[in-house]
Amino acid sequence: MSEHLFYQTRQTRPFIERSEGIYLWDADRNRYIDGSSGAMVSNIGHSHPHVLAAMQSQMQKATFAYRLHFQSEIVEQFAARLAKKAPLGLDKVFFVSGGSEAVETAIKLARQAALARGDDKRFKMMSRLPSYHGSTLGAVAVTGTPPFADPFAPMMKAMPKVRAPLHYLDGLDPNDPATAAHYLKDIEDQILAEGPETLLAFLVEPIGGASTGALVPPAGYMEGLRALCDQYGLLLIYDEVMTGGGRTGTYFAAEHFDAVPDMIVSAKGLGGGYMPLGAVISRNDLVEDVLDHGGFLHGFTNAAMPLAAAAGMGVLDVIEDEQLCARATRLGDTLFARLKELQARYPFIGDVRGKGLLLAFELMADAQTKQVLPKELHAHSKLVDIAYQNGLIIYSRRTRNGAEGDHFMVCPPLITSTAQVDELVGLLDKSLGQFADLYLK
Ligand code: PLP
């Protein structure tokens, strides 16, 4: 670790030298495949010339102009394009610099929208266990990963959580309507126990990110959740920080469901790693109500920066011009099938799941009984380190609420070629073999 810089732990990694397409090179010229697009960020790959040119062109005009001093044409254009990508009715955009800021913004907008309606009772945000919604205190309060929240408990109000529909662990068929009904009953019970009149909104990753390992909800779940929110007066907010930007095969994962949310929060793939960028896209009337009642008590100095908007526009151009959503579906199917082949050869891969290029596999001691590997093995970090030594970057999480084991996100950029999928799977195969030899014999 550097003398003057710190992150979560003392772990060190090589210095980055250069990145292009799906590859990164360290200072010793070792090459790595970006098998997780960083943290599911670099959806269009690294150093795309179109985005670099778009940023350069904006840099020659204005990089920053404080939003209260000037309007910016490029920021307006980008907002209009994002609104078009969101489901019908969501057409007001508030820009921020990342996912946690987007979640904070949605919480405050939901609260102010309730107050504008004269309802001051609703203040609780409901979310799921496990889930991850960010690192700031408000986002931690709605994050369903207790060790991230517990140390800060006296500083915030922990919000109510319901169990995510972990159907693969529960041995339930995701296509059987009874499965969704089972999890929805849990949610309704919890809503009634909390008191529906105190609940502001339900915050949910429509397709799970790293906390659940690319969990696809059972058929009918999102539609049922929408109906419950309507019945009890909760707003429905989709956390598309990870799923936005084409990763699941549609620009927003909302398109996969017959359930329109009241707000979408997004980040990561929006800026694609070219600039810190996030957004809340909200129902028009909610924003109008808040603006009519004293204004939105919120804002970040660096948000809505023209240079960030230029990067976001460039990324969106690439996603559209290169038809990367369709490509995510096609390539996702190929990669999913290849991961299933690995599962057939390595019995400790207990599950493979996901949608588009948001894919994950889970390691288990016994796939039949869903027994997880012992915690002390630290499989999540061991396999990541082995893969890293082999020149493959994957992203792991050991969910720390006791519900799950070690899972690994395999989410390369959407520009990956079929030959590069072969290369990635080859390195993963080698890494799994080495992991098994070292730790499971
Ligand atoms: N929400 C989800 C679903 C995420 O995956 C993340 C980050 O991983 C966040 C929110 C927080 O985003 P950020 O790290 O940009 O603050």
Q: Report the chain's mean pLDDT, rounded to a whole number.
A: 95
| Separation of CA 151 and ligand 1 centre (Å) | 19
User: Is the C-alpha dihedral spanning 279, 284, 285, 289 positive or negative?
Assistant: positive
Residue 403's pLDDT band (cuts 50, 70, 90): low
Of 68, 40, 440, 100, give the one whose Cα is nearest residue 270: 40
* CB distance 128 to ligand 1 below 6 Å: no
Helix, strand, coil percent content, the chain, rounded in steps of 5? 45, 20, 40
What are the two backbone dihedrals, phi and then psi, of residue 408, each rounded to the nearest 5 degrees? -135, 125
Which residue's C-alpha comes closest to atom 7 of ligand 1? Answer: 134
* CB distance 242 to ligand 1 below 6 Å: yes
* CB distance 271 to ligand 1 below 6 Å: no
Residue numbers of the domain that contains 296: 52-321
| Mean pLDDT, residues 244-270 | 98
Q: Which two tokens stand for residue 322?
A: 């290169």
Instruction: Identify whether 1 is part of a domain.
Output: no
CA distances from 34 to 25, 95, 329 (A): 10, 27, 19
Mutate which of 36, 41, 100, 263 for ligand 1 pocket (most atoms within 8 A of beta carbon): 100
Is residue 214 within 8 A of residue 352, CB to CB? The reply is no
* CB distance 351 to ligand 1 below 6 Å: no
> Dihedral through CA 240, CA 415, CA 54, CA 393, nearest 10?
70
State pLDDT tens for residues 35-59. Answer: 999 999 999 999 999 999 999 999 9
Tell me how far apart the alpha carbons of residues 309 and 396 are, in angstroms, rounded to a whole number: 30
Give the domain CATH number at 302. Answer: 3.40.640.10
Atom of ligand 1 nearest to the CA of 135: 16
Do 28 and 91 fall within a single domain?
Answer: no
| Separation of CA 169 and ligand 1 centre (Å) | 24
* CB distance 103 to ligand 1 below 6 Å: yes
Please say which residue of 321, 356, 379 terminates a domain: 321
pLDDT at 148: 84
Atom of ligand 1 nearest to the CA of 100: 16
Mutate which of 238, 268, 302 for ligand 1 pocket (most atoms within 8 A of beta carbon): 268
Higher pLDDT, 156 or 178: 178
Give the domain CATH number at 434. Answer: 3.90.1150.10
Residue 405 has pLDDT above 80, yes or no: no
Mutate which of 136, 143, 242, 407 for ligand 1 pocket (most atoms within 8 A of beta carbon): 242
Tell me how far apart the alpha carbons of residues 122 and 119 are, in angstroms, rounded to a whole number: 7
Tell me how far apart the alpha carbons of residues 388 and 385 are, in angstroms, rounded to a whole number: 5
pLDDT at 400: 52
* CB distance 133 to ligand 1 below 6 Å: yes
Do 353 and 312 fall within a single domain?
Answer: no
Q: ∠164-166-169 over CA atoms, to 5°?
A: 150
pLDDT at 1: 53
ipTM value: 0.99
The domain total for the chain is 2
Atom of ligand 1 nearest to the CA of 211: 5
State pLDDT tens for residues 74-114. Answer: 999 999 999 999 999 999 999 999 999 999 999 999 999 99
Is residue 172 within 8 A of residue 137, CB to CB? The reply is no
| Mean pLDDT, residues 55-78 | 97
Largest CA distance in the chain: 66
Do 102 and 177 fall within a single domain?
Answer: yes
State pLDDT tens for residues 273-298. Answer: 999 999 999 999 999 999 999 999 99
Residue 29 has pLDDT above 60, yes or no: yes
Residue 32's pLDDT band (cuts 50, 70, 90): very high
Do 190 and 275 fall within a single domain?
Answer: yes
Do 247 and 342 fall within a single domain?
Answer: no
Tell me how far apart the alpha carbons of residues 180 and 305 are, in angstroms, rounded to a whole number: 42
* CB distance 273 to ligand 1 below 6 Å: no
Q: What is the 8-class DSSP label of residue 46?
A: B
Residue 390 has pLDDT above 80, yes or no: yes
* CB distance 311 to ligand 1 below 6 Å: no
Atom of ligand 1 nearest to the CA of 276: 15
| Mean pLDDT, residues 391-398 | 93
Atom of ligand 1 nearest to the CA of 278: 15
Is residue 134 within 8 A of residue 149, CB to CB? The reply is no
pLDDT at 404: 63
| Mean pLDDT, residues 135-139 | 96
Instruction: Identify whether 206 is part of a domain.
Output: yes
Which residue's C-alpha comes closest to atom 15 of ligand 1? Answer: 99
* CB distance 132 to ligand 1 below 6 Å: yes
Please say which residue of 255, 288, 321 terminates a domain: 321
Share of the chain above pLDDT 70, in %: 98
Instruction: Identify whether 371 is part of a domain.
Output: yes
* CB distance 239 to ligand 1 below 6 Å: yes
Residue 401 has pLDDT above 80, yes or no: no
Of 245, 200, 183, give the one whose Cα is nearest residue 44: 245
Do 185 and 277 fall within a single domain?
Answer: yes
Do 112 and 230 fall within a single domain?
Answer: yes
* CB distance 241 to ligand 1 below 6 Å: yes
| Mean pLDDT, residues 142-171 | 90
Do 328 and 317 fall within a single domain?
Answer: no
Please say which residue of 272, 300, 321 terminates a domain: 321
Residue 225's pLDDT band (cuts 50, 70, 90): very high
Checking phi first, is residue 12 left (phi over 0); if not, alpha (psi -120 to 50) or beta? beta
